[in-house]
Amino acid sequence: MDKDYNDIPLDKELAEKIFASKDVKNICHALVAIALNEQDWKWVQDKCLYFFMSNNSEISGLAATCLGHVARIHGKLEKDKVISILRTRLNEPEIAGIGDALDDIEMFIKG
- 30 alpha carbon, distance to own chain's centre: 10
Q: What is the pLDDT of residues 88-104, one digit of tens each?
A: 999 999 999 999 999 99
**Which backbone phi and psi does 97 adopt, to 5 degrees?**
100, -10
At 4, the pLDDT band (50, 70, 90 cuts) reads low
* Residue type at 58 in one-letter notation: E
Interacting residues of 13 by C-beta distance below 8 A, sequence separation 6+: none
Measured between alpha carbons, how far is 53 from 74 in angstroms, rounded to an integer? Answer: 23
Q: What pTM did the predictor assign?
A: 0.92
Is the model's pLDDT at 1 over the cut of 50? no
Is the model's pLDDT at 11 over the cut of 60? yes
Q: What is the pLDDT of residues 18-76, one digit of tens each?
A: 999 999 999 999 999 999 999 999 999 999 999 999 999 999 999 999 999 999 999 99
What long-range pairs does 49-52 form, CB within 8 A, spacing at least 24?
49/81, 49/82, 49/85, 51/19, 51/27, 52/85, 52/86, 52/89
